[in-house]
């Protein structure tokens, strides 16, 4: 089959969130530290009534219902997560409840676990399956679901929660550009979860790994592109760019860095940067990656790239800015947003994606928007039924104290059995949300839908 890619996507985020400006006040940090310094507006969190399974169920059910996909039409289902609730039983097996009821248990795939990257690995598996001789003509579905929790301190405001469900198949309105994907995998201890609820994280190292891997992959992607197209790749060749989004400031820096690579390569040095480069950008006498970029140059680049960022990146960053780091779901939350904001105008446009997971694993690849042969998943139709911005606006903020209470509850409930969830009240969940009813003495979880 041709033009395999994303046919439709749905995002779920919990209705409970806290505003970052309120968190700044509560944490006693200078005003602007989280909202400007990290570029974040809100932080979505769950009480004990929702977990990675319930969020995945909600996102998946939304995808199937909203796009009229019968569970019988799905032949592969895979989950990307780093918030597993069990060291053996996959989240995918919980999701099978939605398929069993319809009489379909012939569904391949399990979970992909790797920090922030498992969803991308699952998308690769799903697309490869559709293109392979194993394909039986049915759709593949990938669900990314994560709850990001950090201990009190500078990393906590980068917590978040959310899930994304993607439908994968041929004749896609957003088709994967085959043969251009590039990967970098290596061993690093920037962020990992050796024990307990919270990760062991080296913040500065994780930022360094994220940005230096971006450098590596941009060069690799450009080289592959050049080999195929007979001319060099420039950022102008991408109409949109999506990045893994731990916090928005890092996304701004990442985009600025790609512009910086083009400037170095093509020598069109803007006057505003000439004085801050700490050396000549053209002759390479300034510090180059993987050296740490001088702060002054980094800031000048972010400012310089802002108008282009506004056009190419901002339209896909709203969920991540308002919900925080959703780990595997972060980058993929940008796709339904881009469809909502841009619709059929995406036809003929290229979307460049940078998916990064600590530890470390990363892939840069691209999608191309196209007019589909059949109208079922046409971009205009997807846009017309999208309600993301409306759902974000409907949320009512909770207080920083509520957030703290939820964090305490998460610590208490971690690996616990024999309890009935208490937070938030059922009234606070949006209709259609799956929730945890109880965890029994044998740690078996029961879910229901509001
Ligand atoms: N007003 C405006 N900006 C401010 C203010 C203020 N009042 N105070 C500080 N800032 C700016 C700083 O200048 C800095 O900006 P810069 O990055 O442009 O230099 C920014 O806020 C961050 O402040 P720092 O003091 O540098 O860092 P902080 O101690 O807040 O920690 C960190 C940030 C390391 C990202 C931390 O939140 C963390 O460890 N997060 C988890 C790890 C993470 O997300 N890593 C990213 C990739 S890996 C992954 O996805 C998990």
pLDDT of residue 394: 95
DSSP state of 414: T
Protein residue with its CA nearest to atom 10 in ligand 1: 37
Contact 71 CB / ligand 1 (< 6 Å): no
In Å, the largest CA–CA distance within the chain is 67
d(CA 57, CA 8): 16
Instruction: Classify domain 5-449 at the CATH superfamily level.
Output: Thiolase/Chalcone synthase (3.40.47.10)
* 39 Cβ closer than 6 Å to some ligand 1 atom: no
Q: Is 244 a catalytic residue?
A: yes
Residues 319, 388 contacting (CB under 8 angstroms)? yes
Q: Are 349 and 370 within 8 A, CB to CB?
A: no
E-assigned strands of 13-138? Answer: 17-19, 42-44, 74-81, 111-113
What is the predicted pLDDT for the residue at 264? 83
Burial profile 294-305: b = 16 or more Cβ within 10 angstroms, e = fewer: eeebbebbbebb
Return the structure tokens found at 386.
């999208």
Residue positions counted in the chain: 450
Residue 361 assigned to a binding site: no
Give bridge partners of residue 111 from the DSSP assignment.
79
37 alpha carbon – ligand 1 mean position (Å): 6
Give every CB contact of residue 180 below 8 A, 6+ residues apart in sequence: 221, 224, 225, 228, 365, 366
* pLDDT value of position 283: 60
The predicted structure's pLDDT at residue 287: 56
Neighbours of 194 (CB within 10 A): 7
The catalytic residue among 112, 116, 209, 323 is 116
User: Could you report the predicted ipTM of this complex, rounded to two decimals?
Assistant: 0.98
Task: Return the ligand 1 atom nearest residue 37 CA.
Answer: 21
Q: What 3-state DSSP class applies to 227? A: helix
Q: Which residues of the chain have pLDDT under 70?
A: 277-291
The pLDDT assigned to 277 comes to 66
Q: Catalytic residue among 10, 78, 82, 340, which? A: 82
Of 228, 5, 38, 46, give the one whose Cα is nearest residue 130. 5
Return d(Cα 155, Cα 203) in angstroms, integer.
7
CA dihedral in degrees (247, 115, 60, 405; nearest 10)? -60
- Does residue 363 contact residue 355 with C-beta atoms inside 8 Å? yes
Q: How far is 375 from 250, CA to CA, in rounded Å?
A: 37
Quick one: pLDDT at residue 286? 61
Partners of 5 in beta bridges? 169, 175
Q: Is 386 annotated as a binding residue?
A: no
**Considering only CA atoms, which residue is closest to atom 6 of ligand 1?**
33
* Angle (CA) 337 84 386, round 5°: 15
Q: Which is catalytic among the residues 67, 240, 244, 261?
A: 244
Of all protein residues, the one whose alpha carbon is nearest to atom 9 of ligand 1 is 33
């Amino acid at each position: 089959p041709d033009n395999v890619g994303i046919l439709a996507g749905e995002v779920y985020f919990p209705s409970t969130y806290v505003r970052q400006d309120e968190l700044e006040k509560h944490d006693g940090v200078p005003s602007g530290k989280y909202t400007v310094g990290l570029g974040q507006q809100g932080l979505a969190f769950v009480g004990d009534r929702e977990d990675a399974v319930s969020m995945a169920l909600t996102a998946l059910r939304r995808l199937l219902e909203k796009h009229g996909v019968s569970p019988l039409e799905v032949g592969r289902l895979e989950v990307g997560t780093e918030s597993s609730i069990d060291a053996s039983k996959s989240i995918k097996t919980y999701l099978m409840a939605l398929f069993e009821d319809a009489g379909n248990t012939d569904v391949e795939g399990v979970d992909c676990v790797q920090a922030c990257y498992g969803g991308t690995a699952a998308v690769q598996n799903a697309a490869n399956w559709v293109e392979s001789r194993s394909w039986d003509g049915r759709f593949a579905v990938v669900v990314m679901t994560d709850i990001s929790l950090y201990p009190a301190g500078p990393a906590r405001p980068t917590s978040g929660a959310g899930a994304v469900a993607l439908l994968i198949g041929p004749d896609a309105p957003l088709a994967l550009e085959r043969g251009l994907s590039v990967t970098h995998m290596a061993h690093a201890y920037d962020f990992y979860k050796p024990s307990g609820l919270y990760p062991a994280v080296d913040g500065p190292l994780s930022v360094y790994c994220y940005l230096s891997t971006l450098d590596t992959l941009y060069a690799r992607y450009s080289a592959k592109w050049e080999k195929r197209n007979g001319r060099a790749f420039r950022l102008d060749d991408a109409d949109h760019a999506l990045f893994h989004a731990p916090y928005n400031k890092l996304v701004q820096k990442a985009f600025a860095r790609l512009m910086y690579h083009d400037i170095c390569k093509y020598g069109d040095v803007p006057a505003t940067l000439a004085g801050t480069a700490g050396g000549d950008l053209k002759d390479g006498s300034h510090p180059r990656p993987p050296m740490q970029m001088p702060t002054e140059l980094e800031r000048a680049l972010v400012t310089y790239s802002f108008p282009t960022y506004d056009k190419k990146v901002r339209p896909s960053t709203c969920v991540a800015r308002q919900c925080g780091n959703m780990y595997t779901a972060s980058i993929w939350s940008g796709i339904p947003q881009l469809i909502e904001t841009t619709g059929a105008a995406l036809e003929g446009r290229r979307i460049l994606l940078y998916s990064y997971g600590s530890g470390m694993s990363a892939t840069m690849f691209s999608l191309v928007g196209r007019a589909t042969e059949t109208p079922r998943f046409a971009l205009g139709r997807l846009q017309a039924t999208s309600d993301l911005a409306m759902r974000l606006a409907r949320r009512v903020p909770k207080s920083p104290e509520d957030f703290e209470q939820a964090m305490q509850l998460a610590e208490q409930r971690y690996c616990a059995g024999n309890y009935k969830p208490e937070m938030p009240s059922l009234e606070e969940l949006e209709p259609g949300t799956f929730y945890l009813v109880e965890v029994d003495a044998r740690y078996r979880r029961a879910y229901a839908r509001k």
